[in-house]
């Protein structure tokens, strides 16, 4: 669901099936960016909710996070660049972050930028 919405709303190209490390491609003039897409259904403001594992061993340029509501409709889409994510994941102090490669939604939002929001 998140991949579909990110591709549709941000006008990305879907990567080849089983492409290791990224889900979509964004073309900017002569540059091609490889993007992982993560999704999370946010039902409450409960702190500490995490997104899925970000595999830093694969090649990709950024991660797009699609936040969905209870009806699986997109509310917001954020993007963080590879260097920002790796810095956050390797910062000492959290086993979830360091070992599992999982960032909290709030951390991702703080290091990333808002790309899209639903108009209410």
Based on the number of CB atoms within 10 Å of its own CB, is 120 exposed (0-12), middle (13-18) or buried (19 or more)?
exposed
Mean pLDDT of the chain: 90
Domain that holds residue 11: 2-117
SS3 for 13? strand
What is the model's pLDDT at position 95?
A: 55
Residue 10 pLDDT level (bands cut at 50, 70, 90): very high
**DSSP-assigned beta bridge partners for residue 64:** 37, 79
Domain containing residue 71: CATH number: 3.40.210.10
Q: What is the pLDDT of residues 72-97, one digit of tens each?
A: 999 999 999 999 999 999 888 765 55
How many structural domains are present in the chain?
1
């Amino acid at each position: 669901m998140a991949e579909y919405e990110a591709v549709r709303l941000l006008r990305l190209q879907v990567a080849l099936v089983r492409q290791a490390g990224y889900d979509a491609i964004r073309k900017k003039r002569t540059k091609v960016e490889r993007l992982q897409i993560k999704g999370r259904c946010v039902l409450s403001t409960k702190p500490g909710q995490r997104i899925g594992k970000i595999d830093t061993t694969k090649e990709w340029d950024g991660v797009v996070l699609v936040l969905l509501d209870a009806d699986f409709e997109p509310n917001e889409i954020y993007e963080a660049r590879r260097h920002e994510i790796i810095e956050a994941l390797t910062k000492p102090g959290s086993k979830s972050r360091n070992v599992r490669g999982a960032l909290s939604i709030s951390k991702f939002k703080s290091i990333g930028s808002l790309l899209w929001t639903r108009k209410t």
